[in-house]
Structure 1
């Protein structure tokens, strides 16, 4: 069976541009603006739909790398926070190791790891200064890959101030660290 997602999106965009747009009342400026936003959103989705699974895996791999890096200093935080981080790491590793893991499972595991990291970062504010500093240092270090991937992901929208410095999306998603 052939995936018709691209064809469906292209046809939808064409219908909006060629049928709906001309039928709009010329005085309905807000409707025209909203239609343009919808068409742009569909164009963006069309450009990125094939990479959604790859992006979910990148995000999970990235957050897992950070979670592993802060695992030792996390022990200085509350036991519940450290345990939640360990559980999230196990869940994330399981999702990545299973070739049959669906995109939704990878995304859910990634969300669990990200949530555990957020809680750890909050908890670290009152932790031992050495542990807090280690967690902060690793978090800032890890942010570079996410920022680069986000810039590449959203590049088609045209908002990046220096688009020439953004790597191709495939390269940005290939290296979580």
Structure 2
């Protein structure tokens, strides 16, 4: 039995392509379509699996920078300072996770989720207490982060074939920072 996911995926693709798909009734268009979709998704997984950890580390590094900028730009009444301190503390922990050579993919993924959550809390707590200029700065920061993440997400999913102009997107490998220690 093969334990490596890359080899397992290639085996599934081969079995589905060479054994299952030819055996599916040609008149059953839904079964043919679903088999091809499954093969396509497995091909996508095979392409993405080697990059998944780098993808997550890249997102964590970007969220760390976003969190630092967010802490600098937010101000407000009660609760804002506590939320900012909590995000700063979460950022310190996330930076440690990213820097540790022993940090595994699940730790990076967990730190990404926590920074997303804490960033949302800080924005929610501080937004109503901030003046319009401060709200605008935070909104621009959020939009810039979202734009960069959306570009990475679209490039990550490019092999699925949904993009109307695939050549307009850079390859995912060009969008990933080298953040792995």
The TM-score normalised by the length of structure 2 is 0.85
Q: What is the Cα-based RMSD across aligned positions, in Å?
A: 2.2
Q: Higher RCO, 1 or 2 (CA under 8 Å, sep at least 6)?
A: 2
1:148 aligns with 2:151: yes
Matched residues in 1 for 2:135 and 2:46: separation?
42
Matched residues in 2 for 1:120 and 1:27: separation?
56
Matched residues in 2 for 1:147 and 1:101: separation?
26
- 1:51-81 CA-to-partner distances (Å, cap 9, x unmatched) read 0110000110111111000112334262342
Find the counterpart in structure 1 of residue 97 from structure 2.
95
Name the count of aligned residue pairs: 175
Q: Is the 8 A contact 1:124 1:131 kept in 2?
A: no
Moved more, 39-48 or 165-174: 165-174
Question: Is the partner of 1:25 in helix, strand or coil?
Answer: coil
Find the counterpart in structure 2 of residue 59 from structure 1.
59
Find the counterpart in structure 2 of residue 171 from structure 1.
174
Find the counterpart in structure 2 of residue 104 from structure 1.
106
Q: Is the 8 A contact 1:76 1:131 kept in 2?
A: no
Matched residues in 2 for 1:5 and 1:29: separation?
30
Q: Is the 8 A contact 2:57 2:98 kept in 1?
A: yes
Q: Flag structure 1 segments of 5+ consecutive residues without an equivalent.
A: none
Question: 1:3 Cα shift?
Answer: 7.3
Q: Is the 8 A contact 1:67 1:117 kept in 2?
A: yes
The TM-score normalised by the length of structure 1 is 0.87
Matched residues in 2 for 1:162 and 1:88: separation?
38
Matched residues in 1 for 2:14 and 2:88: separation?
48
Matched residues in 2 for 1:155 and 1:127: separation?
40
